[in-house]
Amino acid sequence: MTISRSTMLGLALSLTLTACGDKPADPAAPAATTAGVPAAPAGATDWLSVIAATPEGGFRLGNPDAKVKLLEFASLTCPHCGDFHAAAFETIKTKYVASGNVSYEFRNFVLNGPDYAASILARCQGAEPFFGLLDSFYKDQASWTEPFGKMSPADSARLSALPEDKQIAALAEIGKLDGYVRTRGMPRAKFDQCLADKGALDKLIELRKQATDTYKLTGTPGFIINGVVQEAVYDWKGLEPKLQAALQ
């Protein structure tokens, strides 16, 4: 089913902070291991510094020609995604991506209005700052999402009365995201510029459709290894053995 831009945006604004998926994630991660991960040879490329935007709309960290290509679809407002990030991201980088044998790509699977606003801000400066901002949004998830849960009926009425192309920017301001990103190096002029970019919103809608229509994902986080959706895998405990197997 094709979902229009206006329908998607209206759904996003009406849902506020929705849940991530119907499967609980296990935030406990096994001890980091290098078993099955070939070490990078001396003098090899520093793959952790190789960051790029992908043609599909994501951001990739590591060797573009890696043997194993890990793709994650996730939401910035999803607690399960935050748990996965806390449990896995450093290990994915240092034990897998750094070797050159695994690349990691993140694509946004937005779930609600605050997610649209935060995702636009995380993405709008391009590939180089993206993973640092991603890390911040996940580490601070409980604090930056809090104002959205305290929106007044007057705030909601004001949002719904605005033209469609002004709603996400107004939502971001109500949620105090201007102050949040300013402390992370984004001035107010850039904040306004990012949220006024209609193409940025359209890209997020396109990425969500990739997740639901192409990969048939029903919740977040969702993982794809070398083009294959990892069924019933929602956390690092379930994902790491799949990466190990793909490396053999």
88-114 pLDDT, tens digit per residue, is 999 999 999 999 999 999 999 999 999
β-bridge pairing 59-61 and 102-108: antiparallel
pLDDT for 14 beyond 80: no
Share of the chain above pLDDT 90, in %: 77
Residue 132 located in a structural domain: yes
Q: What is the mean pLDDT of the chain?
A: 87
Instruction: Give the tens place of pLDDT for each residue, 52-84.
Output: 999 999 999 999 999 999 999 999 999 999 999
Residues 132-141 have a mean pLDDT of: 97
> What residue numbers bound the domain in which 193 lies?
47-247
**Is the distance from CB of 208 to CB of 8 less than 8 angstroms?**
yes
Tell me what percent of the chain is helix, strand and coil, each rounded to the nearest 5: 55, 10, 35
In the block, residue with structure tokens 């192309």: 165
Residue 196 located in a structural domain: yes
pLDDT for 174 beyond 70: yes
Total domain count, the chain: 1
Residue 17 located in a structural domain: no
Separation of alpha carbons 62 and 80, rounded Å: 24
In sequence order, which residues have a C-beta less than 8 Å from that of residue 187 and are 6 or more positions away? Answer: none
pLDDT of residue 20: 76
Instruction: Give the tens place of pLDDT for each residue, 175-214.
Output: 999 999 999 999 999 999 999 999 999 999 999 999 999 9
The tokens for 189 are 């002029």
Stretch (H or E) spanning 202: helix 198-209
**Is the distance from CB of 20 to CB of 80 less than 8 angstroms?**
yes
Residue 12 located in a structural domain: no
Residue 6 located in a structural domain: no
pLDDT of residue 106: 98
Residues 117-145 have a mean pLDDT of: 96
pLDDT for 25 beyond 90: no
**Is the distance from CB of 141 to CB of 94 less than 8 angstroms?**
no
In sequence order, which residues have a C-beta less than 8 Å from that of residue 159 and are 6 or more positions away? Answer: 13, 167, 170, 171, 174
pLDDT band at 164 (very low <50, low <70, confident <90, very high): confident
pLDDT band at 37 (very low <50, low <70, confident <90, very high): low
CATH number, domain with residue 112: 3.40.30.10
Residue 220 located in a structural domain: yes
Beta bridge partners of 169: none
